Amino acid sequence: DAGVIQSPRHEVTEMGQEVTLRCKPISGHNSLFWYRQTMMRGLELLIYFNNNVPIDDSGMPEDRFSAKMPNASFSTLKIQPSEPRDSAVYFCASTDAGLSNQPQHFGDGTRLSIL
């Protein structure tokens, strides 16, 4: 079975540019999570969705960050405009929230570098 698929795997862009990160959750999963990992702050939650509805976006650092989940098989995380401090690895994870003991499955992340 395909796991959580994230694209691109690496992104290097100049500050001020718009960045869009993409995630395809595991088929049948109805909860999706976006996490960010930096050396300073470790792994932290940005936002999560249940049944395509955003539940908690309190981890989104600023209005420059936005996330959408237009359908059950796709989500985007957008940064506009990007800044050097947004450089990090961004992970997407999914799970089947209908089953209480299901773990979260993570993608391999997008390594973002803002110059």
- The site for another protein (CB under 8 A) is made up of 4, 30-31, 33, 35, 42-45, 48, 50, 55-56, 91, 93, 95-109
Q: How far is the CB of 106 from another protein (least distance, A)?
A: 3
> Looking at beta carbons only, is 31 or 82 nearer to another protein?
31
Tell me, rounded to whole angstroms, the distance of Cα 115 from its chain centroid. Answer: 20
Residues 6+ apart with CB under 8 A from 38: 87, 88, 89
Q: Which of 1, 2, 60 is nearest to 33 (CA)?
A: 60
> Looking at beta carbons only, is 16 or 98 nearer to another protein?
98
Q: Are 93 and 104 in contact (CB under 8 A)?
A: yes
> Looking at beta carbons only, is 18 or 108 nearer to another protein?
108
Q: How far is the CB of 29 from another protein (least distance, A)?
A: 9
Q: What is the DSSP letter of 103?
A: P
Q: Which residue has the tokens 């049944």?
A: 51
Q: How far is the CB of 55 from another protein (least distance, A)?
A: 8
Q: How far is the CB of 96 from another protein (least distance, A)?
A: 6
